[in-house]
Structure 1
Amino acid sequence: MPLPGTLRTVAATRYVTPLREGGSLPGLVEGDDLGMYVLKFRGAGQGLKALVAEVVVGELARGLGLRVPELVLVDLDPDLGRAEPDEEVQELLRASGGRNLGSDFLPGSFDFTPAVRDPGPDLAARVLWLDALVLNVDRSWRNPNLLLWHREVWLIDHGAALYFHHRFAAGWAPATSYRFDAADHIMLGAAGSVEAAHEELAPRVPAAVDRAVTLIPDDWLDPVFGDPDTARSAYRSYFTARLADAPRWLADVEAARVARV
């Protein structure tokens, strides 16, 4: 069992295959616990910031009652892929030695869209609201990042969220508002009231964020802040500012939803 305030850690024992659906070239690996994990590499294009976003948004979603595959820390020996014939994969593995992020592999799952199965207005609204909160620009009809597994909807792939952290610098403070365009969101046409979802979920955000940011490994956090606790506080301050700005972005998302319906 992991210690309180930490993710479970496994060691990768076998590189199984690359998964070419995502731009960051995740891979399927087997862990020393005999589990199978979709591995997100620290050496991929967006680097550690994408892994941080995966942890913060994934664990926030879990804390709000949404289904997210278990996230684990995966220790990777860069020599694990020596037999892999793809040079791109070999290079990625060599660049990713150390601690990476794994997501529990859901065997038999497949991409979910509302056209295949109605998620219900409440679930659709909660997912839409979450993505507006965290600035997740990567849950569109082109790339839903939702899986259907055991007849339930599971949220995956949040590395593109929290785009503000790519501009971290000394003295950074959150903006008073951030742009989020809901027009292409996969759940827009199926969602019920986003304002009702906000009333239900917003009071739970601070505690869920507090837990999520404690799960980020210290060495994944931006060193520009000088110490990990200050970096974690930057994420907390973003969510405080985003919730304070909720009347504006909720109105925008609700208007897009009503127009689609």
Structure 2
Amino acid sequence: MTESLIRTVQVTRYVTPLREGGSLPALAEADDGFLYVLKFRGAGQGLKALVAELIAGELARTLGLRMPEIVFAQLDEAFGRTEPDEEIQDLLKASAGLNMGIHYLSGAITFDPLVTTVPARLASQIVWLDCLVTNVDRTARNTNMLIWHKELWLIDHGASLYFHHSSQPWQEQSRRPFVPVKDHVLLLQATDLEAVDADYHQLLTPERIAEIVALVPDEWLVDANDPTAEPAAERRAVYVQFLQDRLAHSHIFVQEANHARQALI
């Protein structure tokens, strides 16, 4: 495994829950003095959402898209004992250990497609990424993008890589067209997908994909409550193989996205 490029911080203060998220993320302060949006391992979506957040987020960064810094956020067992809200207290107790923090972009506003026009190249890059990682959560209803200092930033990738929630073989799922792209908030502007596809094949080498997946902690890959679960190394290899195979057959999801865009015109 490569040396981690992800910093680890200690959570020192729970600031406020962010109740717009289904997994009840929170704004928290860490020992480096910064604020982070905390994604909890004990939330309903579980560790697989954190795996998806990390892999998709670092893929976005590799592809030159703006992503807030991702950190590992250590939460002590005693952290939630003084929390008066029982639901939050239970979540904090269930999340002792290594969680995920996303650097908080203070003053950022939610991207509104009616207010901000995204250039075709950038729209195509984001649509291509979301097709690669099968991110179903970048719609007009929930764009999961922010405007910060007049620039577009991507957030919230926990709904990506949904193959890992399925019992179907990953090989079948890696080559499927991404049908939910029809609801992507930037699809109409994504007119440059073929050029983006060619460029991104150069950036996402097998080595780089393996390096990104290697950042995932072993403890996020192993189900401690399931003695029959496959080892972390085997699970890690599945993510690498899924992404490499999906990239090798990217023409399938590019074609699907182009067809879906034409249907909207």
TM-score (norm 1): 0.92
- Structure 1 equivalent of residue 129 of structure 2: 130
Q: 1:168 to 1:70 in 2, by over 3 A?
A: farther
User: Structure 2: which amino acid aligns with 1:178?
Assistant: R
- Structure 2 equivalent of residue 96 of structure 1: 95
Q: Distance in 1 between matches of 2:77 and 2:27?
A: 15
C-alpha displacement at 1:239, in angstroms?
1.3
Q: Distance in 2 between matches of 1:60 and 1:190?
A: 21
Unaligned stretches of 5+ in structure 2?
none
- Structure 2 equivalent of residue 211 of structure 1: 211
User: Structure 1: which amino acid aligns with 2:141?
Assistant: R
| Equivalent pairs, count | 257
Deviations 1:80-106 (A, max 9, x none): 233433221111111101110000000
SS in 1 for 2:171: coil
Q: Distance in 2 between matches of 1:149 and 1:164?
A: 32
Find the partner of 1:174 among 156, 171, 176: 171
The answer to whether structure 1 residue 142 and structure 2 residue 141 are counterparts is yes
- Structure 2 equivalent of residue 26 of structure 1: 25
Q: Distance in 2 between matches of 1:226 and 1:139?
A: 31
User: Structure 1: which amino acid aligns with 2:238?
Assistant: A
SS in 2 for 1:211: helix
Find the partner of 1:254 among 237, 254, 258: 258
User: Structure 1: which amino acid aligns with 2:45?
Assistant: Q
Deviations 1:113-136 (A, max 9, x none): 332211211001100010001000
SS in 1 for 2:29: strand
Is 1:64–1:208's contact at 8 Å kept on the other side of the alignment? Answer: no
C-alpha displacement at 1:179, in angstroms?
4.4
Q: Distance in 2 between matches of 1:198 and 1:61?
A: 14
C-alpha displacement at 1:22, in angstroms?
1.0
Q: 1:208 to 1:152 in 2, by over 3 A?
A: farther
The answer to whether structure 1 residue 55 and structure 2 residue 54 are counterparts is yes
Q: Distance in 1 between matches of 2:183 and 2:171?
A: 25
Q: Distance in 1 between matches of 2:148 and 2:4?
A: 28
Q: Distance in 1 between matches of 2:204 and 2:108?
A: 28
Q: Distance in 1 between matches of 2:145 and 2:93?
A: 30
Unaligned stretches of 5+ in structure 1?
none
Q: Distance in 2 between matches of 1:163 and 1:222?
A: 17
Find the partner of 2:240 among 236, 240, 261: 236
Q: Distance in 2 between matches of 1:23 and 1:97?
A: 20
Is 1:114–1:190's contact at 8 Å kept on the other side of the alignment? Answer: no
User: Structure 2: which amino acid aligns with 1:210?
Assistant: A
| Seq. identity, % | 48
Is 2:128–2:196's contact at 8 Å kept on the other side of the alignment? Answer: yes
Q: Distance in 2 between matches of 1:84 and 1:110?
A: 29
Deviations 1:223-260 (A, max 9, x none): 56643332221111101221232222211101112332
